[in-house]
Amino acid sequence: MPISRQHRDLSAKPRLKRTKIHDQPIVIENDHSIALFFDVRGVQSRMFLHDPHMLALGYTRTMMGFLLFHPHPTRISIIGLGGGSLAKYCYRHLPVTNIVAVEINPAVIALRNHFQVPRDDERFTVICGNAAHYVRRGNHRPDVLLVDGYNADGIPRDLRSRTFYEACHRRLSADGVLVANLTTDDPSFRACLQTLKDVFSDAVTLAPAADSPFNIIAFAWKGEHPAPPLSDMLSRAAALEATHPISLHATAARIEYGKKFDWKQLQMHDPSR
């Protein structure tokens, strides 16, 4: 799977060089949707007013491909709340799953009512804190770890370091899955891929995100077994379609396509190797 640059789609996470004041969220609403921005050129989250639980941005639908690896997780940790799209979807469509969302920006959490993020209860909690610290500490063992933490400059350094990915690997349950939203126009993109490969070895694959030329979703898992074959993913997608209003069949095809990615090209473009 080649890495290419294309015109920006607004569903892509932006790489923007801005001062930290631009981490102050901006909310823009029209008759159809409400959207969260850190900069008016790139949307971070969008909610359709007619269906607040719908996954409006394609990359979030692709991130739900973890269901093709782990169809019935008991515990999910989400790094980066944003407008709460993934948190709301998981809360509604995985009714027996415990969910923790970690968001460092209190101004983002303050918008949870605007985006109809559920209140904390016995199986859903929003934590204001540093996600890198959260992953390293405590005794939580998520089956799924969704990493979608961005600020106005892109992925924060402490959410793309080798130390962070190693902590994620240790933190996951025995058959846990890490899902990371990456963008190809971020200068750290290739380094993120190489670090994931170094930490998870062959237990990592990629998928181009739906409706976005810039977003790539990385799936990494515990153990040395390969990614599920397409036939297994399609069978799981069929079994889940009654309870999940997203096209997991399409996501299975994206994951299958991502298996073709030539990891050797990372080393060819890395002057330190």
Catalytic residues: 148
Residue 258 structure tokens: 């991502």
d(CA 24, CA 105): 8
Full strand arrangement of the beta sheet holding 33-39: 26-29, 33-39, 42-48
d(CA 262, CA 67): 25
d(CA 131, CA 269): 30
Distance of CA 46 to the CA centre of its chain: 15
Residue of 98, 62, 104 lying closest to 80 (CA atoms): 104
d(CA 236, CA 244): 11
| Contact yes or no for 108/44 (Cβ under 8 A) | no
* Count of CA atoms in the C-beta half-sphere (13 A) of 49: 9
List own/partner pairs for 116-119 with CB under 8 A and 24 or more apart: 116/47, 116/52, 116/84, 116/88, 117/81, 117/83, 117/84, 117/87, 117/88, 118/87, 118/88, 118/91
* Count of CA atoms in the C-beta half-sphere (13 A) of 253: 4
| Contact yes or no for 184/200 (Cβ under 8 A) | no
Residue 107 structure tokens: 């101004």
